[in-house]
Structure 1
Amino acid sequence: MPELPQYTKSQLALRNGQDKPEIWVAYQGIIFDVTESRLWRKGQHYEHWAGQDLTPELADAPHTHEVFVRFKAVGQLKP
């Protein structure tokens, strides 16, 4: 598998469904493109906002990390 490009938190924040057409979220250092998900329209999914690292918020979600297998990994979050 080719190495994914790295993005900063600031670059991820621009993919919030408002500033750029892409809607991205990060989980455990991997950035996923959720643009095509009807659940992420306008960059919001329940109380969660796109363009950020959702790792700490997943514990409160009604689903597990397995939900991310549906989405394409597009990058790595720079530490």
Structure 2
Amino acid sequence: MLRLTPAQLKHYNGKDKPEMYVAVNGKIYDVTHVKQWATGSHHGHKPGTDLSEAIQHAPHKTKVLKWLKCVGTLVKPNK
């Protein structure tokens, strides 16, 4: 399992690295092969970001997360 800071997560955007990951509530999910993310964004949201706040406003809330593979944990950067 990965342990990524928000700065490291940004590289998993489908451009810097081929994988596309998003974080929600401290967990990192792989959206690389999810058709809704095929264009490199989903309803204006970009991969490589923390969508914890945004998903609360989505009609599906966190229900869709059960279909995604959890690949790691979002951690606070070391100071």
- What TM-score do the two structures reach when normalised by structure 1? 0.88
Count of residue correspondences? 76
| Superposed CA RMSD | 1.1
State the partner residue of 1:69.
66
Runs of 4+ in 1 over 6 A off after TM superposition: none
Q: Judge conservation of contact 1:18–1:42 (CA < 8 Å) in 2.
A: no
Q: Distance in 1 between matches of 2:16 and 2:49?
A: 13
- What TM-score do the two structures reach when normalised by structure 2? 0.88
2:74 maps to amino acid: L
Which sections of structure 1, spanning at least 5 residues, go unmatched?
none
Q: Percent identity?
A: 41
Q: 2:31 aligns with which of 24, 29, 34?
A: 34
Q: Distance in 1 between matches of 2:15 and 2:38?
A: 10
Query: What is the deviation of 1:5?
Result: 2.8
Name the CA shift for 1:18/1:49 in 2 (closer, same or farther; >3 Å): same
Q: Judge conservation of contact 1:33–1:72 (CA < 8 Å) in 2.
A: yes
Q: 1:57 aligns with which of 39, 54, 57?
A: 54
State the partner residue of 2:12.
15
The structure with the largest helix share of the pair is 1
